[in-house]
Amino acid sequence: MTLHYGVVLEDGQDGWIVARVPSLPGVVTQGRTREEALANAREAIALTAEDMRARGEEMPPADLGAEMVEITA
């Protein structure tokens, strides 16, 4: 089964990129690059899924849907 979760990337301290998964509270990781932050997020999501299955819990529904909006400031 393939699930899709949104990952929010934000600039962190010291040049690191922070990756948050809003659908899975507590799943926050980071990387030196966007690619590393996303790879770490995939690993964190997989470990969370494994832990939840071991406890007999179900993963929240997969989500996918973020849009960038443009404004004139």
Q: Transcribe 2-71 into DSSP letters.
A: ------EEEE-GGG-EEEE-TTSTT-EEEESSHHHHHHHHHHHHHHHHHHHHHTTPPPPPP---------
Tell me the domain boundaries of the chain: 8-54
pLDDT value at position 60?
A: 86
Q: What is the pTM of this model?
A: 0.82
Is residue 42 pLDDT above 70, yes or no? yes
Q: Grade residue 64 by pLDDT with cuts at 50, 70 and 90.
A: low
Residues 53-72 have a mean pLDDT of: 82
Is residue 71 pLDDT above 90, yes or no? no
pLDDT over 70 for what percent of the chain? Answer: 95
Question: Which tops the pLDDT comparison, 13 or 41?
Answer: 41
